[in-house]
Chains A and B, each alone.
Chain A
Amino acid sequence: MPIIEVRNLSKTYAGGTTALSDVSLDIHESEILALLGPNGAGKTTFISIVCGLVTPSGGEVRVGGHDIVRDYRAARSLIGLVPQEISIEMFETVMNTVRFSRGLYGRKPDDAYLEKLLRDLSLYDKRDARLMELSGGMKRRVLIAKALSHQPRVLFLDEPTAGVDVNLRRDTWAVVRRLRDQGVTVILTTHYLEEAEEMADRIGIIDKGRLMLVRDKRDLMHEFGRKRLVVELVEPLITLPADLRELGLVLSEDGQHLSYEYDTRADRSGIARLFATLARHGIAVRDLETRESSLEDVFLRLLGEAA
């Protein structure tokens, strides 16, 4: 059974803006799902509904088999949320704020667990420091610690690395992977396609409140991805023979490289024909390089197709 089941979820705000429209989705235990989409696509609304911050206009969501409205206590106790903004009480200490979060979820005090959690997030040395004394990166980790204080099975991360430096981003990724390995299901929204590409097992793309697709990352890359083959020549070419141009090859300005883009899904990539033609013209090859489309390419292509 999926840990989260979303059926026909929709949200129209009082002002008339439709933020989500008929979204259905299953999220499986111990996976990392990245939700991608441009600003205002409905990602944060989706998270806010599942976490209980926003009331849905229609549809149904179950977390661990519990309906988020009728059985909200059981559903919410399974969820941890790391919000997009750094929202903390600046005068509180790290340990107290994490204890407070655990208490809100009705869990028994367990300082041994909380100390371990702070150690895992490299916050233990700062446990008695006031939040106002911490760096931006540490404050973000405190938010993660608060979200994990009650040992949830599902963790929502809304733009977890927005505006943070590369090192902290890498640290956050490591924490998320470790959580996944411990059995926690992670749902993250991000603007950084690199982040989704690096971390996610599955990727969902939301645009204009609609879930356009949800796929395994590798399948998505394979299905929508294209590859580029770059051929380095021994001798530069001045002009490209017509039959090579017809194959779709492009000659670089210095005449030293030929590039060829092909669809990984196609039955025939055309590479064999390409090399046969090169051989027929007596064009010698020094080196080859292939590059797969990035998720960014796939994302832009999908949004472009939808527009």
Chain B
Amino acid sequence: MNWRAVRTIFAHEMARFWRTPWESLASPVVSTVLYFVVFGAAIGGRIESVEGISYGAFIVPGLIMLTVLQQSISNASFGIFFPKFVGTMYEILAAPISFFEIVLGYVGAAALKSIIIAAVIYLTALFFVDLPIQHPFWAAGFLVLTAFSFSLFGFLMGIWAKDWQQLQFIPMMVVTPLVFLGGAFYSASMLPPFWQDVAKLNPVLYLVSGFRWAFFGQADVPVAASLVAVAVFLGLGMAAVWFIFRTGWRLRN
């Protein structure tokens, strides 16, 4: 293993994160505050509690999951797409690094950025609501695994994308709708029976549900199903990475 190269890529990506603190940290804080104002104050005034949990607290896990998914995908996809775009990818490909090490550097940094942002959102939420975590180990586990899985997904998108439009297509047109429809701001049990069944086809529901269970001990779907969903995401991502590793798809001619 070329650990020094992994560390170099990781540090390079994290440096970009700290170089733009406003975009990196302040904007998720502002978004969180806005969500609290819009959903917590406006809608929360009409919905006092969901399954015994105050609405303001109820939306926090979904809000964190929404941000983690978006940030993981955008950070990792940008991280690998940028050297492709400016032409510095040659340097990564010509170095004595395996594809696994490249993935570890970029995906590790993207996942850590998302986890930091998740922590910032949680701390911001504490200013608005009382938010104890019933299963902190599981909350951390779901968070880390989701951040890694979706960073891996973002990394693959960054390799796949040929231009900026393609880079933004899937996060905007697929991931964000799935998160909003995945119970981020409501419980699936609030839906009519038909739509409850439809919602169960949405993979993001399982992630949000599992994470919410770690906070409140209540879930839309069994926790085991959520774990399987995270494992499937991770497995699919790793299989795709393995394919690229074998073939050099979109990287080596």
Contact = CB atoms under 8 A, between A and B. Distances in A.
6 contacts: A51-B90, A72-B96, A75-B96, A89-B86, A90-B86, A106-B97
A74 B90 contact: no
Interface in A1-37: 13-14
Contacts of A73: 2, 96
A103 B5 contact: yes
Contacts of B88: 87-89
B9 interface: yes
A100 B96 contact: no
Given A100-B12, A104-B8, A76 B253 contact: no
Interface residues on B, range: 20 to 34
Interface stretch (A77-85, A206-214, A259-267): A77-85
Interface string B67-101: 00000000000000011001110111111110000
B53 to A, nearest CB: 44
Chain A contact residues: helix, strand, loop or mixed: loop
Nearest to B105: A104
B4 A53 contact: no
A229 to B, nearest CB: 49
Given A54-B253, A55-B253, A105 B93 contact: no
Contact of B9 (A13, A75, A104): A104
Which residue, A77, A79, A83, A105, has most C-beta atoms of chain B within 10 A? A105
Contacts of B86: 87-90
Contact of A85 (B87, B92, B94, B95): B87
A101 interface: yes
A104 B90 CA distance: 12
B248 interface: yes
A170 interface: no
A266 to B, nearest CB: 47
Contact of B90 (A53, A55, A90): A53
A98 to B, nearest CB: 11
A13 to B, nearest CB: 6
